[in-house]
A and B are shown apart, each in its own frame.
Chain A
Amino acid sequence: MSEHPPTPPGSQDVLLEMRDIVKVFPGVVALDHARLTVMKGEVHAIVGQNGAGKSTLMKVLNGAYRKDGGTIVLDGREVDFITPHQAQVGGISTIYQEINLVPFRSVAENIFMGREPRRFGLIDWPRMNREAREILAHFGIQLDVKQPLLNLNVALQQMVAIARAVSFGSKLVIMDEPTSSLDEREVATLFDAIHRLKASGVSVIYISHRLDELHEVGDNITIMRDGQTIEETSLASVSKLEIVARMLGKNIGELRREGTTGFAERKVDIESAPFYRAAHIEAEPVLRDASVELRKGEILGLSGLLGSGRTELARILFGADKPDQGSLTLDGKPSPIASPRDAIREGIGYCSEDRKAEGIIPEMSVRENLTLAALPTLTKNGIIDPNEQQAIVDRFVALLSIKTSDVEQPISQLSGGNQQKVLLARWLCLNPRLLLLDEPTRGIDVGAKAEIHHLIETLADEGMSVLMITSEIEEIVEGSNRVTVLRDGQTVAEFDRAQIGQDAIIAAMAEGSDPMPDTVEV
C-alpha cells in the first residue's frame, strides 16, 4: 500500500487536498487522519465498506460536518466551509443519493433556486428558463424546463441536480451513489454527463459500490477502511478483486488466520431439505433476480457488496416489503407471509442493520424493548403478566450476559453491543425457527462480537436457522454452513461448506464469476 498519493504531474493540477482529517463522534472516531487528493478535471472514485468513513469525509468537505482536525486545501487556498450552501458557493456541490430538490417546482426553478435571475427586483422568468435550457443543452439534454421536476425520471432529476451544480460554477462535484436507483440506459446518460463535466475541467468525486462503473468512469481511486485512507492509486493499476480485498482489509492469497471470529469452524454440511425458499425475486429498484433457500439448523451467509440487495432480500423474507416478481415458498406451500406480524407468527425474526432507525425504541427500557415482540405471548386479555415478563427478561439478560445496571434503564443508554443483544433477545425469547440477522456485529466492540458469534452458533446447533448478512468476510468464511453471494441484485454464486473460501467469495462479490459450474437452481 503506497504511503503517499500518486505524485501529481504538477502541484498546480491539484484541485483538492484533504490532509489528516479527524472527526470524532461521541464514542466513535469516524475519521482517523484520513487523506484525499483530487486532481483538476479528474473523476476520483472513493470506495469503502459501510462505516469506512467515506460519507463522513464528504460531509466534512461540503460543510455538513465540522472537522475536528486536519486541513482542507481547495485550489491552493485553505478552506473550512460551515454549511453546504457555503461550500456550494465556494465551488463544491454535492449530488445526494436522495435527490435534494423540490419536486413540485419547475426544472428551471430548481436549477436557480436561491439565485433566481431578477430584473427590476422581479424574477426574470424568460431569462431563467433560457439559461436553464442552455445549461441542460450543454449536457445534451433537451426538455421542457417549465415542467415540474417530479415529471422527470430519477436520472433526469439527477441531471437537473448536476446542472444546478454547474450553474454555480462548481469546480468539484461530489456524487454519492448516483447510480443506485438507475437502470443501464440512465447510467449511460449519467456517465455522458460526467465525461462532459470532466471535459470542461470540473472534477468529480464518485462514490459507488458498483466496481464495474468505477473502471468505466474513474481515473484515480481512494480506498478507505475504519476511518483511514488505506490506498490512493490509479484505477488502471488495480483490479476489481484487489479493490474489494483492500476494502475488506484482506490480501488475495493471504493465508487465512483461523479463529479471528468467535465462530468455531462450521464443519458440518446441513443435509435437510430447505423449508423457506425465495426464487427469482425482483423488486424495484435493487433486486433483479435474487434467490435464496434456508435449511433447518444452518447458518447461511448472505454476502455481497453494499447495494447488492442483501438487506432488500432479507426484508422481503420477513414480509416487510413485497416483491414485484418471484415466488416465496414456506414449508412447501406458497408463503402466507404478507407482513412482519405474519412472519413472526411463522417463527421468523429480523434484526435490522440500522439498530437506531429500525431496532430500538430509544425511550423505552431494556425490559420493554426485549419483550416488545413477545408481548402477545405474555398477556392475558391484553394485560401483561409482569412476573412472566420479568422472568423472561432475567433469563435472557443472564443468558446473553447483557450488561445493564438495571433492566429499567432506557435502551439508548446501553452500548451498541448490548443494544444488539437486547434486540437478539427480543427474537430469541419467541423461540423462532429462523432469524434474519442484518449486520449483527456492526459497530460492536470485539468482545461483544465474539459473544454474538458464539451465540449464533449455539442457536444453530440447537436447530434454529440463521440468515447472516455481514460485510466482514471472516464472519462469512468461518461462521457459515453455506454462502449465497448477491451482486447487483442477482444471486451470482452459492458455496457449500467445502467450497467456502475467502478468495472465491471476494471474487464472486467483485466480478460475479461463479467458480462452481453448477449454480444451484432454486
Chain B
Amino acid sequence: MEAGELRQNAVDPSQNAYTRIAGAWLRGQGVLIALILVFLFGVWRYGDKFTSDFNLWTLAKNNTYFALIALGMTFVIMTGGIDLSVGAVVALSAVTAARLSPHGLWIALSAAIAVGLIVGVINGGIISIFKVQPFIVTLALLLGARGAALNLSNNASVSVDYASNYKDLWNTTIGVVPLPVVIVIVAYLLGSVMLNLTRFGRHILAIGGNEEAARLAGLPLNRTLFFVYLLSGGLAGLAGALLAAQGNTGSPIAAVGWELTAIAAVVVGGTLLTGGRGSVWTTLVGVLLLGLIFNELNFERGKGIFDLTQYWEEVIRGLFLLIVIILQSRLTNTARVTRSM
C-alpha cells in the first residue's frame, strides 16, 4: 500500500503549504474568499462612497464586457487552447455595431455578434481541421480582425447614431438591474448549464484533460474545438456591442490588450491554463475580483495617499497571471506524474 499512499500524497493538498494554497485556490474557494475580503476592505476604507448604488452598479456594468470575453476564454482555455484575438474582435464588432446603429438596435446587435462568430469560424476551422497551434492562428486573427476594424471605420472612431434606440442596450434597466448585467448573468447561467449538464461541456473538459483519452473514447474532437472558438468569437462580438453602446462609439483601436484581462480573470478564477479543469462561476468571480481591485485603486488615488497611474493596471494583471501560473505549474506537474504512472 505504500506505493499507493505515496502517489495519493503526491496530490494530497495537505502535503505542504504551497500545494495547499494552490489546491484551495483552484477549488474556487480562494478566489471567492479573496473577493469578499477585498470587498470588506473597500467598505471599511472608503465607506459610503464605495457602497453607493452608483459605484457598485457602475463597477458591475463596466465589467460586463470583460465578463463576456472571459466566459468564452474559459471554455477555450479548458480545452488547453488560447484565443488571443478577442480584443481585436471586440473592436471590430463595436465598429460594426456603431456603423449599423442607424438601422436600429436589433440589426446592429445581430451584426456585431455575427462578425464575432465569423472570426470564431475562421479560428475554430483552422485550429480543428488543420491542427495548427491555437496561439498562432488567433494571433494572426488578432491582426486580421484589427485590420478589418480599421477598414470598416476608415481609420477613425464611428459614432453611434443618436437618433437610434441603440443606447437602450446600455441604459435599460430591468427592475434595478441594468440590462448588460442581466445579459451577463444569463450568459453565465447558460454557460454553466452547458458546461455541467451537456455532453459538449463535459467533452470540453475531457479534451483539455487528456486529449488522447478523449480520442480513444471516440469524443468528437474537431467539432468540440470548433464550437469552443466559435463561442469565444460570438461572446467577444456581444462584448463589442456592449462597448459601443457604453461609449456611443465604435473605435477600431479600442480594447487593445483585453485578451490579458480575460486570460487573467480566467486563471485567477482557477481554470488551469493547460486545460481540463475549471469552472464558469469562478471566472466571473475572477472578473469581479480584478475589477474591484482596480476600483479600489481608483479610490486610493482619490485619497491621494499613493498614486499608481492606470497604466499599472496592466502590470498588476500581469503579476496576478504570473503568480497563478506558477501555482498552477505545481499542480499540473503533479497531475502529470500521476498520469504517467
Contacts and interface: CB of A to CB of B under 8 A. Distances in A.
Interface in B298-337: 335
Given A114-B219, A154-B341, A105 B206 contact: yes
Given A116-B202, A183-B3, A122 B193 contact: yes
Nearest to A113: B217
Find the residue from B1, B2, B193, B202 having the highest chain A CB count within 10 A: B202
A412 interface: no
Given A98-B339, A122-B193, A103 B209 contact: yes
Contacts of A185: 1, 4
Contact of A113 (B8, B219, B272, B276): B219
A119 B199 CA distance: 11
B340 interface: yes
Contacts of A122: 193, 197-198
B211 to A, nearest CB: 9
B3 A102 contact: no
A153 interface: yes
A105 B339 contact: no
B6 interface: yes
B175 interface: no
Contacts of A86: 218
Contacts, number: 105
A102 B198 contact: no
A85 B218 contact: yes
A101 B213 contact: yes
B133 interface: no
A103 B197 contact: no
Contacts of A98: 339-341
B8 A151 contact: yes
A242 interface: no
Contact of A102 (B199, B206, B272): B206
B268 interface: no
Given A85-B216, A85-B218, A113-B219, A99 B202 contact: no
A114 B217 contact: yes
A104 B205 contact: yes
Contact of A150 (B4, B199, B212, B338): B338
A186 interface: yes
A123 B196 contact: yes
Nearest to B197: A122
Interface string A179-192: 00111011000000
B4 A183 contact: yes
A141 B338 CA distance: 21
Contacts of B277: 104
Contacts of B199: 116, 118, 123
Contacts of A121: 198
Contacts of A89: 218
Given A85-B216, A85-B218, A113-B214, A123 B6 contact: no
Contacts of A105: 202, 205-206, 209, 276
Contacts of A100: 210, 212-213, 216
A444 B11 CA distance: 43
Interface string A87-119: 011000000001111111100010001101010
B3 A182 contact: yes
B335 A150 contact: yes
A134 interface: no
A265 interface: no
A348 to B, nearest CB: 26
16 contacts: A84-B216, A85-B216, A88-B218, A89-B218, A101-B213, A102-B276, A104-B272, A104-B335, A105-B205, A113-B217, A114-B219, A116-B202, A122-B197, A123-B196, A153-B5, A186-B4
Given A86-B218, A102-B210, A113-B217, 19 more contacts: A85-B215, A89-B218, A98-B339, A99-B341, A102-B206, A102-B213, A103-B335, A104-B209, A104-B277, A104-B335, A105-B209, A113-B214, A118-B199, A121-B198, A125-B197, A150-B338, A151-B8, A153-B5, A183-B4
